[in-house]
Amino acid sequence: MENINYNFDKKTAIITGGAQGFGLDIAKRFLKSGAKVIIWDLDKNMVEKSIKDLNNSNLSSNIIDVTNYNQVEKCVNEILKNSNIDILINNAGITGPTSTLWEYDVEIWKKIIDVNLIGTFNCCRAIIPNMIKNNYGRIVNVASVAGKDGNANASAYSAGKAGAIGLTKSLGKELADKNIAVNAVTPAGAKTRILDQMTTEHVQRMLSKVPRGRFLEVEEFTSLVCWLSSEENTFSTAAVFDISGGRSTY
């Protein structure tokens, strides 16, 4: 499949969880399309490897915990000294262990919500004032089909992603009178390291729900995110874009 590259010249993008999986592939396509890309990730080793492998002068990184608002705000203020922030991809997320809700570890449940929902809020809150100032911005929140359907034994992940969907709809409406688009994408299971966090049984149960009969390819996901992040997306906002191979039809 030949990739379409959009024009991201003179655009600066922040991609959370950008050192691997969806985030890294989005970074690669953005760089090919002329953007300056800043990867935010907690995994220092993966960040260093990604920076080395991509070897691009338009790529930089910050080791950052998106659940810590003060850390996010400080980092944003540093970036804004030299650049605007035109695109935000809220991709950082964790699935956590599979367990029934009544047996779920309380602190782990909270941590999953913190990363998947609070982290998205923190990044949006810190970055949006700059977008408002410039009357331009593209925000893509990476949710999940789990946030629409609710996956058994994944209540924290499902709730966090459902929250991200609700946040997207509210925020998109708040910014609808500006040239700032806020959308969510809801992928089904994909071939990324996040599958390693799940049991084999859970993975097979996910796959059995997909009419296409296969997992999502990372490149397919990136193509959708790129369009939503581009200047070509002039109208869609506060929307949820399904990419689940037919699993969700609403």
Token pair 């995110």 in the structure block, residue: 225
Round to whole Å and give the CA distance between 99 and 243.
26
Determine, yes or no, domain membership for 246.
no
Determine, yes or no, domain membership for 7.
no
Determine, yes or no, domain membership for 21.
yes
Band (193; pLDDT cuts 50, 70, 90):
low
Round to whole Å and give the CA distance between 150 and 64.
29
What are the tens digits of pLDDT across the range 99-124? 999 999 999 999 999 999 999 999 99
Residues marked active site are found at 157
Q: Give the CATH number, domain containing residue 183.
A: 3.40.50.720
Round to whole Å and give the CA distance between 143 and 125.
18
Determine, yes or no, domain membership for 118.
yes
Q: How many domains does the chain have?
A: 1
How many Cα atoms occupy the beta-carbon half-sphere of 202 within 13 Å?
19
Which pLDDT value is given to residue 195? Answer: 67
Q: For the residues 173-181, what does the mean pLDDT come to?
A: 98
What are the tens digits of pLDDT across the range 67-81? 999 999 999 999 999
Round to whole Å and give the CA distance between 145 and 125.
24
Determine, yes or no, domain membership for 162.
yes
Owning domain of residue 105:
12-241
Q: What is the mean pLDDT of the chain?
A: 94
Determine, yes or no, domain membership for 6.
no
